[in-house]
Structure 1
């Protein structure tokens, strides 16, 4: 990223990226320190990082650590939400020479008694992209095979972006119908944030989730409170979200995606490519119909007529054909 900045920008970046860790921060484990450093860099260089794709070169991958955590709470959850704003790609560190500047800054930090500012930025001022006309449909499915969630994003131009996820943690964290619906809604909101959508209309058939998001109903179930708290953090990053309750019959696409994910068990090492759904207006064999049919000059009711009159089956008729003829 530094290679894309001018000399003045590099000097500022090098100065800003020097920080002495606070007392409680020194007790973080190594991977959490990497996360802390990354969040600190994004806070300091936000005006640069929002304009570029950033390659993160490090011995450990803090992004994967945050995304692979089964349950994020406290500072880890806030860090993850903050980092989803940027286009950051992890690159494994292959040489020591490339980290000389970073190692030097870490060894000679600037005295700074301020904690990490993990408050969300003022989106009215710092928003990068705002797309109008986006719609998001979400739904969850629970059955004897498992739990699945489905999300469908529709762009202003009519492009459909489906996502289908199987919830494989139900053996460790028992799930309910409402939990599955919350998971589906969160997946849709996170997907929208990845696409830098800031205005969107949300559709779902879970009246409870939609009412609790809007603050009309209180979240009394203790199992739903963490979901509600995390969802509020995500929703705060949007300029405008509108919610509409749909009957299940009008939410068929998302319901089908959720049911698909709940019914199949995908091996851990398998790769499932995006599902392509096409529309076909004619049977696959229609182009061979003329070649396959033999014109014997007899009317279509010939076999029926002979059976009614003479009680005779066609010579090549099978048991199934005879039963159908009767």
Structure 2
């Protein structure tokens, strides 16, 4: 389970309105019949139109400055193992979203009129998507890039020869291109994986747009707060503030496991992924204590996530730590997206 929380992007890509973002989330519905479309939904309603979402989110930003985001985007990406547990991706993920947003509000250290905030205090809309495409940050694209660069150079040389700017053997260059296409390490259906290519398999995930202001358009509820839990004096009163991201991410996993009776492996947990980044020695020490079957599955999951798998198990903890840190220095990015709130 990977969860990211991103503030509305101001300027450049998106305007202060939610219209561009909502329009982006409608991309999968293009060309589909009405009954095939995935509509927006919230805690209590289904089949909500994009126009209603834009109107409701844009109209709920009272007293926010132009430099402050009016909404946050939450993306929830279950793993293929988690998706395999679902009976119906769309309906099951809707059910999960409604429980997840209860975890979201419970992670705020805020009160409204002297009580803790609840699900009715927030304004959100969600949408299920079933497709993903390869991006430049994906390991498949990064590792295919040297081949892509050479292919692009060769194609440029071929054009130069065809247009008389230089001499060269076009047939040999085309053979080299064909060879490079086949040698690229990441392929699908016999073709090199490139940016924009749809990913294979079940890619169902959830997009949630949640207003910065509460449902009454009075109080600001920011999951981007740097504070987990604190109090500050405002207008002569002590006001609670903060959002506990660790609590939210851990609760999100527990809610999924409880809802779908899912047996989560050690390597799938938020805590384990966080330990890998912050204390890899502890991470691998815990890993080696797992029962054989769980350990084998953990290594399989790690490999899929881009964590460097050691060819042999080091004898001492010192060797273990050294190998881990060397792996990190080589720039291997681990899928720990859910620990970040930045863009």
- For Structure 1 versus Structure 2, the TM-score category normalised by the shorter chain is under 0.3
- TM-score if structure 2 supplies the norm length? 0.22
- Higher relative contact order, chain-length normalized (CA < 8 Å, sep 6+): 2
Larger Rg: 1
TM-score by length of 1: 0.22
